[in-house]
Structure 1
Amino acid sequence: MVYRVGLLGLGTVGTGVVQMLQQPQHPLLQAVEIAAVGVRSLDKPRQVRIPPERLTTNLEQIVSDPEIDAVIELMGGLEPARSLILKAIDHGKPVITANKAVIARHGEEIFQAAAQAGVAVLLEAAVGGGIPIVQALQHSLRASRIQAVWGIVNGTTNFILSQMAQQGSSFAEALAQAQARGYAEADPSADVEGWDAADKIAILAGLAFGVAVPREAIPCEGIRNISSTDIRYAREWGYTFKLLAIAQRAAAQGSETVLDVRVHPTLLPVTHPLANVHGVDNAVWVQGDPLGQVVLAGPGAGQGPTASAVVGDLLTLRAHLQTGAYLPNPLWGFFGRAAALLPLAELESEFYVRVLAQDQPGVMGAIGTCFGRHRVSLESITQKECHQEQAEIVILTHTVREADCRQALAEIQQLPQVAAIPSLFRVLR
């Protein structure tokens, strides 16, 4: 029996999906037919052959067509993707999506609608490209009590930081290289500001901890302020910079789970498994009880890995339909129970600080006094270099409360000998 799918979007990933379905490598894909493909323009040149009568700009017709069995949404963005997914669900069609933004922001609405309609929404391609992290958290790791999920989940920023560390490039140079290779958009803000990673950690946190994580509440910092100087100093101390998406248990208050969820640049020891993930690769580190530690790593973006994850979801859907087995939505039951998020001010972390100050006696003592006044214990305070009568002072703290560290820095900034505090980054071990 032919299984007819409607495809929304024929960009890079959509083209990869069509190529895989036109040359199926699995018996369950033999009977899959691409019945319709929704595109913005009928005249645009294509890298794959689609019969002209199956191309349409009427995307609503695809999701409501009774002859189409399932919908694959690869458009990206919030609208009209959200409305089309909901309409497909309303017409009883399972949905496969790679759209992390729409799931992170409208997942509760989408999965509640799917639960009422009794259809599945599958999203392996939304996080980690070719890394099967959604399936892992939903099935393989489900028996353990997950304590933490840390991820390098944005290939663009990982490429930029890798170029800065390995080639000595500046941020601007590394970004230009990423754009030239097609890893970064003309407007790279979603990547370099950490917004894309925040979408993905909202989804992973929901899977790992069984609660809804409000995307808009996730603190998010990007990588624009990392300098080659900071990367050099970090290396001297045995650290490397990574943009980490973090979700971990912070505390339990009665029956309420308090989560620490955030995205920001982080100094990681070079011995940490995530420190050795380079280029556009992604990796997710999971710690649980009695699981221990697991790392899933691999290609996190691009046509091949993402299309593979989409078609993998289609295989899952076909297998369950063929056997008649129940296919649960990965986020069913998570919603209606919102996570309480730890305020960033209450976070306890080690910090790396770089201060520019006058090169004169007593400056380091004054800085140390300010830290001590705010209960910030220092592991190291070192004068590194001098430039035109200004010294670079680099500081590593012990584990301290973020609010205390920032109060100390606000006082240090007011010292007459201090010109600037160009760098403040968290350190994880």
Structure 2
Amino acid sequence: TTRGKLFGTLSDPANLAIQLPALSATLPFLLLIMVTLRLPLTNPSPVFGLAVVFVVLLLGMAKIFSLDLLSAVGLGSTLALEYTWHLGHFNPDHATLPLAWYIGFAALFTIFPFLFHREFATRTTPWATAALAAPLHFFLVYDVMRTAYPIGMLGLVPAVFAVPSLVGLIVLLKRTPPESPALSAQLALFGGAALFFITLIFPIQFDRQWITLGWALEGAALCWLFHRVPHPGLRLVGTALLVVAFARLALNPAVLSYHARSATPIFNWYLYTYGIVAICLFVAARLLAPPRNLVLGRNTQPLLYTLGALLAFLLLNIEIADYFSRPGMAGLTFQFSGNFARDMSYSIAWALFALLLLIIGIHQTVRPVRYASLGLLSVTILKLFLHDLSQLDQLYRIAAFVVVAIIAIFASFLYQRFLGLSQKQSQ
């Protein structure tokens, strides 16, 4: 027998067998929504109580007749009713009862497939409904807590929501046979739901650089989870979070004004923010080594390594600029003239960074990294001759030239040794 489609043609009997129960299941909820819109229901218990009866009937039919779609229809219909009442009648002064209903509905849909695990072990739709129940109810619960219970620790709300998803993930790992074809999707759904709530903790509870740090750490965690649960969605979301974290630090000028310049150089918030995100990019690139490196058909490992290196180079320049800035400045600015020590710090740091790239490129035999190091070293030498030396006294010119020359000579020595070894190996 062929499996019907909800949005297929009505002329197909298989589609009709799915569409008719699904459409019929929505009718009682539509009536409840109409009642909610027409009557001043300050107490949602009458309509929500009837909704519970309808939901239990739908879930029972889903189990008895193997109509998995009914659980999803029940969740969607219940959410429509809840949001209709909440947006039209919710009063923060009477928040306890609606909060209990919202949590109860979310718990009902989440627990349902676990109660009949044997029947649903090889299916996907009931587990998708269970995994999505909490995220789709989150706004309702969060809005109640935000307006009625302003505790100042709203980050606890997504933290608490993450617990059932994590527990569900553990239960599935223990009870679902490893050979089950639906296990990967089930784990990805509950793992994704848990990480969704963990992601929300940072923007809700924290601000500024902590949001970026949270997303970078989660992106690396998703790439690690992809090793345990090889679902492509985990890899895609993890990579996207890391790219967003990079963009927030590298392409957002406002980040340099998050905090006034402190009296502590180097060991400051720039170091841990940019440093941790760069490490997350490198770790994720390592985790997504072949054959796990393709995201949407693209090789993401070089991208992550490149973004990590760019962020490390940006951190190097930020620390130099911060070191030579006055304490208490509202924002950080980059200046490349007027201060001999600062100008030479940039040049020497760039040369050392280029040397480090060259060593990595030689050790890992990665040609683009070697070319990048030579390009950066060339830019450093041009800066030294065209900018730095023209503004220095005779003694300082000699000292600056000697330092950069030593680095350049050492780099050329390494490159010649590498070319010699490569030629011997090719012969």
TM-score by length of 2: 0.29
Q: Which has the higher helix share?
A: 2
TM-score by length of 1: 0.29
User: Higher relative CO (CA 8 A, sep ≥ 6), structure 1 or 2?
Assistant: 1
Larger radius of gyration: 2
Q: Which has the higher strand share?
A: 1
